[in-house]
């Protein structure tokens, strides 16, 4: 949590002025009991009405000045807290964007959403409360005790006993509840995960009539969270009654002692009232401090969870960033590059530039997995070739193409693009070369034109229509009343599955990538539309290298080369006719889709 305070650096003035004005307010508040004592001992005792009026005006003045100080402090505290949360949210979002798919898989989407929303809101509240109360409450407690000594030393000794007892209760409860609040937030992640799964998978749940089962699963997780929150709440709830018992007991002793000393003529009645008021101030401030500590405890727990995300380092090492960080050590950098070059020369032959993509004995193991997802994948693709990738579910087709734009890094071997190791590319440069159309068609809220410009924000309208023509989306877009300006709802819910897929393909084509990857992205298209799409892609003027991932043999049969995947291994490689003659896995896939006599 402490490391996150760097996001307050732009609000140094506010972080100083907020507690300063609160201390000013507290200072004026400490004079109130003395004014009240003067009113009782002088104004009331002597029947001096004009004195009472004057002191009453002093009280009103103290209240007004205190109000102005309080409002000013609240303004600066709110400004600093909101600015802190804004900067933290931007930094966290930016950091999450830098993480590879491996870290995303490890943390989980629901956890990251909780960090971005609930946790940051809790830290914002904690910063606000600290700036307003963290100095004010202790100042009032200590100040009230000091002022009590100025009234009467013997009676003030009661304060010396009471305050340590109250501090023991407050900090003891904080020490017990802090780890529990961490568990509460972890359980909240679990509830959010179940909620997200149910909302995104609502069609599947209803299709299998699993509403009751999911309701029971949610209820169990929610009740677990509720019970833990109630348990922590009971412990935290002890703070108010225990502090009230201690303070009210101290007030009883104080009144008793004060009465005796008034009878002895040592104290005045106004002095006793002032002492009771100071004790009441201590009670109020310690209750505030107790609530502050509860909220700060929650904020610290949330801040630590946010910090744990910041401490996650991307597994992707970026060539340009590495060299930038090492500019101050040029000699070391040259030596390192020389060593890397020697190692690569020993491990492999030089990759010619004519190869658009080269997989060299590549292996991939996902984090936490016991077995390899890809094993010893070795092939080369020339520029402008169309490569089909086919295989059963879970055979490693998507894993293979995800290595090209470095969504994951190979755990063994090397991937080369244009004769250069992908690990030596800056990510931005690498991904500009690659147009990726994922299995799940994802569109964003906005117009069709805005979605297409994700591929290239500077593309002309003619280029957008050209991409739509190639992707077989031109016809239905032209029929829309607003054309390119047609509004797309969140996730493209107002479009069919085939329309969404064609628009995502068009979005990738707008970029005019050197390498186009269609990762089973035509599964919602009929065979005729799929065939027209493939023919249109082959006619693209600048002749990109194309990877078509599919489970349909009809989608890959005309490719220059087909890679057959089977359980993470490359089971066959060649043209359609060559694989029908030599690859049992391809033969099985083909025969399951076409009759034998159609060969």
So where are the chain's domains?
2-310, 316-347, 350-445+508-598
* pLDDT surpassing 50 at residue 328: no
Domain 350-445+508-598 has CATH 3.40.50.300: yes
* pLDDT surpassing 70 at residue 360: yes
What digits encode the pLDDT tens for the residues 400-438? 999 999 888 888 999 999 988 998 888 888 888 998 888
CA distance 364 to 100: 14
What digits encode the pLDDT tens for the residues 365-390? 988 778 889 999 999 999 999 999 99
The pLDDT value given to residue 595: 59
* pLDDT surpassing 80 at residue 331: no
Residue with tokens 């209820």: 219
Angle between helices 153-200 and 269-310 (to 10 degrees): 30
What digits encode the pLDDT tens for the residues 114-162? 888 888 998 999 899 888 888 888 888 888 888 888 888 888 888 888 8
CA distances (Å), 71 to each of 24, 74, 76, 492, in order? Answer: 12, 5, 9, 47
CA distance 483 to 465: 10
Question: What is the rounded average pLDDT of the residues 55-67?
Answer: 90
The pLDDT value given to residue 203: 85
CA distance 449 to 503: 10
The pLDDT value given to residue 324: 43
Same CATH fold assignment for domains 2-310 and 350-445+508-598: no
Question: What is the rounded average pLDDT of the residues 26-36?
Answer: 86
The pLDDT value given to residue 318: 54
Dig out the tokens for 266 from the structure. Answer: 């040592």
Question: In percent, how much of the chain has pLDDT > 90?
Answer: 26
Choices 3.60.21.10, 3.30.1490.150, 1.20.1560.10, 3.30.470.20: CATH for 2-310: 1.20.1560.10
Within 10 Å of residue 402's Cβ, how many Cβ atoms?
A: 20
Dig out the tokens for 169 from the structure. Answer: 């209760």
CA distance 2 to 303: 8
For the ranges 133-137, 181-185, 513-517, which has the lowest average pLDDT?
181-185
CA distance 364 to 570: 13
Residue with tokens 């599947």: 204
SS3 452: helix
CA distances (Å), 546 to each of 16, 168, 266, 454, in order? Answer: 59, 70, 98, 20
Question: What is the rounded average pLDDT of the residues 3-18?
Answer: 87
Question: What is the rounded average pLDDT of the residues 569-574?
Answer: 92
DSSP code, position 40: I
* pLDDT surpassing 70 at residue 562: yes
Dig out the tokens for 62 from the structure. Answer: 């103290």
Phi then psi dihedrals of residue 393, to 5 deg: -60, 130
Of 447, 384, 375, 433, residue with least CA distance to 404: 433
- Radius of gyration for the chain, computed over Cα atoms and rounded to the nearest angstrom: 35
Question: What is the rounded average pLDDT of the residues 65-84?
Answer: 92
What digits encode the pLDDT tens for the residues 206-261? 888 888 999 999 999 999 999 988 988 888 788 778 878 887 888 888 888 888 88
**pLDDT averaged over the chain?**
84
The pLDDT value given to residue 109: 78
* pLDDT surpassing 60 at residue 597: no
Question: What is the rounded average pLDDT of the residues 564-587?
Answer: 91
The pLDDT value given to residue 352: 54
* Spatial CB neighbours of 269, under 8 Å, sequence gap ≥ 6: 40, 41, 45, 262
The pLDDT value given to residue 343: 46
CA 90, 92, 98, 100 torsion-angle sign: negative
Q: pTM of this prediction?
A: 0.67
The pLDDT value given to residue 340: 47
Write the Ramachandran bin of 308: left for phi over 0, alpha for psi from -120 to 50, otherwise beta.
alpha
């Amino acid at each position: 949590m402490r490391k996150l305070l760097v996001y307050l650096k732009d609000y140094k003035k506010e972080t100083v002025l907020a507690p300063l004005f609160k201390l000013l307010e507290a200072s004026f508040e400490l004079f109130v009991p003395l004014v009240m004592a003067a009113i009782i001992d002088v104004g009331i005792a002597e029947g001096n009405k004009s004195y009472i009026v004057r002191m009453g005006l002093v009280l009103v003045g103290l209240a007004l000045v205190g109000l102005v100080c309080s409002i000013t402090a609240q303004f600066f505290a709110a400004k600093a807290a909101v600015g802190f949360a804004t900067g933290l949210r931007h930094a966290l979002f930016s950091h999450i964007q830098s993480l590879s798919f491996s870290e995303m898989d490890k943390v989980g989407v629901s956890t990251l959403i909780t960090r971005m929303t609930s946790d940051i809101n809790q830290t914002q509240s904690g910063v606000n409360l600290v700036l307003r109360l963290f100095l004010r409450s202790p100042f009032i407690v200590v100040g009230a005790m000091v002022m009590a000594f100025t009234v009467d030393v013997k009676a003030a000794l009661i304060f010396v006993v009471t305050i340590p007892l109250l501090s023991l209760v407050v900090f003891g409860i904080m020490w017990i509840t802090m780890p529990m609040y961490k568990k509460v937030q972890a359980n909240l992640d679990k509830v959010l995960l179940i909620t997200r799964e149910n909302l995104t998978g609502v069609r599947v749940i209803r299709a299998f009539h699993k509403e009751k089962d999911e309701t029971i699963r949610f209820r169990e997780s929610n009740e677990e969270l509720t019970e833990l929150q109630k348990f922590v709440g009971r412990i935290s709830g002890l703070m108010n009654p225990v502090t009230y018992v201690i303070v009210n007991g101290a007030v009883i002793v104080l009144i008793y002692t004060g009465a005796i000393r008034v009878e002895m003529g040592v104290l005045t009645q106004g002095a006793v009232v002032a002492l009771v008021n100071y004790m009441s101030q201590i009670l109020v401030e310690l209750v505030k401090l107790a609530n502050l500590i509860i909220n700060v405890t929650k904020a610290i727990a949330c801040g630590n969870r946010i910090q744990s995300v910041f401490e996650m380092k991307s597994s992707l090492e970026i060539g340009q960033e590495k060299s930038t960080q090492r500019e101050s050590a040029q000699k070391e950098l040259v030596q390192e590059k020389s060593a890397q070059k020697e190692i690569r020369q020993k491990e492999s032959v030089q990759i010619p530039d004519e190869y658009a993509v080269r997989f060299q004995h590549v292996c991939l193991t996902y984090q936490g997995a016991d077995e390899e997802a890809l094993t010893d994948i070795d092939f080369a693709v020339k520029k402008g070739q169309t490569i089909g990738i086919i295989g059963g579910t879970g055979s490693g087709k998507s894993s293979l193409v995800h290595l090209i734009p470095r969504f994951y890094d190979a755990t063994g071997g090397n991937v080369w693009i244009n004769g250069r190791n992908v690990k030596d590319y800056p990510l931005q440069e690498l991904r500009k070369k690659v147009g990726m159309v994922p299995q799940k068609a994802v569109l964003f809220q906005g117009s069709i034109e805005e979605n297409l410009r994700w591929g290239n924000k500077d593309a002309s309208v003619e280029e957008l229509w050209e991409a739509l023509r190639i992707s077989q989306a031109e016809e239905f877009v032209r029929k829309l009343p607003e054309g390119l300006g047609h509004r797309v709802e969140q996730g493209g819910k107002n479009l069919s599955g085939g329309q969404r897929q064609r628009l995502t393909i068009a979005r990738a084509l707008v970029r005019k990538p050197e390498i186009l990857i269609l990762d089973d992205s035509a599964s919602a298209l009929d065979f005729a539309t799929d065939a027209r799409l493939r023919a249109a892609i082959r006619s693209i003027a600048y002749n990109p290298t194309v990877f078509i991932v599919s489970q349909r043999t009809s989608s890959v049969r005309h490719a220059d080369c087909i890679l057959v995947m089977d359980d993470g291994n490359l089971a066959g490689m060649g043209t359609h006719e060559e694989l029908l003659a030599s690859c049992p896995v391809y033969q099985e896939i083909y025969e399951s889709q076409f009759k034998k006599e159609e060969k």
